[in-house]
Amino acid sequence: MSRLAKRPITIPAKTEVTVSGGTVAVKGPKGSLQKPLHRLVQIEVLADGVQVSPKGESLQSRALIGTYASHIRNMISGVNTGFSKKLLIEGVGFKWDVQGKTLNLALGFSHPVKMPIPEGLTVKADKGVLTIDGFDKEAVGQFAANVRAMKKPEPYKGKGIRYDGEVIRRKQGKKAA
């Protein structure tokens, strides 16, 4: 059983957590999030915080309580502080810009790539740096992964889109005779 799930999750001020009808809802200053519950997980809102416990003693229910405890922690911190991911772009002629709710990418293809920005996310494009902000950790991470997947960094020259802080192992090219 998860050690982190055994401890109650503290609820900060200005944050409400409610469990009803098989969903858990978290409402805070930045927004509100909902997540459906698994049938093997039980969540209770107590005076000292949110307690996650398994229904029954199956192996799957004990494995899921740590996952759901982590989801609830992410939801609580998201509606209070939010999440942010930074992407870096390298390459001659590679660029991006934001127009309304669309991210335009020029990645060396024969056509520009247009990606719609999901609801609840704010995207800022500076020279070489793309910042994705939002209160839903899953949405921020998934959109950042989708943008990175458009042009993954290659190991010879390092061209492409990578996360801030990501290290690309470089390979040696062909040897001149």
Mean pLDDT rounded to a whole number for the chain: 91
pLDDT tens column, 57-78:
889 988 899 899 999 999 999 9
To the nearest 10 degrees (0 to 180), the angle between helices 137-150 and 59-80 is 90
What are the φ/ψ torsions at residue 80 (nearest 5 degrees)? -100, -50
pLDDT tens column, 13-54:
999 999 998 899 999 999 999 999 999 999 999 888 999 989
The answer to whether 133 and 59 are in contact (CB under 8 A) is no
Beta strands 129-134 and 121-125: pairing type?
A: antiparallel
pTM attached to this predicted model: 0.89
Domains and CATH numbers, the chain: 3-80 (3.90.930.12), 83-163 (3.90.930.12)
The answer to whether 53 and 6 are in contact (CB under 8 A) is no
pLDDT tens column, 115-141:
999 999 999 999 899 999 999 999 999
